[in-house]
Structure 1
Amino acid sequence: MKTKTPRPFPSVDRQLKAFGQRLREARLRRDISTVLFCERMNVSRDTLNRMEKGDASIAIGTYLRALRVLGMDKDFETVAKSDELGRKLQDAKLLIRTPRGRAQKSRKDEEGAITEGKPLNEQS
């Protein structure tokens, strides 16, 4: 039984539609027919049609194959490369010092064995 893909956020939906349109325009600029493009990508014409419309159920690997066929796969390497927000959050955590509890000192029992923070009368 086929599982239903959840609807993407509206902003993601717009981005996928715009991305699909850009892929279509890039294919047409290169004068690549749908048949040839599908052969090179190893997908059906229906899949290509859905992809160029920005269908969220198309696997990201399929989109990457399209970029590869178009010679645009290097562009994908820039996605999420400069994570400025993530770096700022990481730096903020480094600036905040959290107090830690003091570690209990080890003690020597009567026979010279070291106990790890246990009172001498609780040894086994």
Structure 2
Amino acid sequence: MPRKPPVVFPQEQRLLSELGERLRLARKRRKLSNAVVAQRAGISRTTVYKVEAGDPGATLGAYVRVLAVLGLEGDLNLLAADDRIGRKLQDLALEPSPNAKRRKAHPSPIQSREGPA
């Protein structure tokens, strides 16, 4: 019995479709057939078609295998490398809240009330 395909929102489907198209173009630039990519990746030709179509049912492993055959697996290091939102959230957590009361500086017991000696 086939698995139920994952729920994919339109924006995510567009991203997958664009990735698949880039992979298809990369394969064609290298003058490789679907059969050759499938054989080298150790996956079926149907899976290669799914990857190039941006099918959300294709596994991440299949995408990685196709990237590796095309010599593009290093591009995976760029995914989520710059977590701007996470850093902003982290920085916000480090800032004191605007409602926090600031402590007034008290003179230290070593200093006299007349000032330093």
Using the size of structure 2 for normalisation, the TM-score is 0.79
How many residue pairs are counted as aligned between the two chains?
99
Distance 1:60 1:67 in 2: 11
Alignment-derived partner of residue 93 in structure 1? 93
Residue 70 (str. 1) matches residue 77 (str. 2): no
> Which one has a bigger Cα radius of gyration?
1
Q: Which amino acid aligns with 1:51?
A: V
> What corresponds to 1:30 in structure 2?
30
User: Which residues in structure 2 correspond to 1:1-124 (within 5 Å)?
Assistant: 1-96=1-96
Q: Secondary structure at the match of 2:81?
A: coil
Residues in 1 aligned to 2:6 and 2:37: alpha-carbon distance in whole angstroms: 28
Contact preservation (8 Å) 2:48, 2:66:
no
SS at match of 1:5: coil
Using the TM superposition, give the Cα deviation of residue 86 of structure 1 relative to its aligned residue in structure 2, in angstroms. 0.5
Gaps of 5+ in 1: 100-124
CA RMSD of aligned residues (A): 1.6
Q: What residue in structure 2 maps to residue 112 of structure 1?
A: none
1:78-101 Cα offsets, whole Å, 9 max, x none, are 1101101100100100113598xx
Give the fraction of aligned pairs with identical amino acids, expressed as a percent: 40
Residue 118 of structure 1 corresponds to: none
- Residues 11-30 of structure 1: CA deviation (Å, up to 9, x unaligned): 00000011001000000000
CA distance in 1, matches of 2:11, 2:92: 28
How much has 1:5 moved relative to structure 2? Answer: 1.7
Determine helix, strand or coil for the equivalent of 2:7: coil
Where do 5+ consecutive residues of structure 2 fail to align?
A: 101-117
Give the letter aligned to residue 81 of structure 1. Answer: A
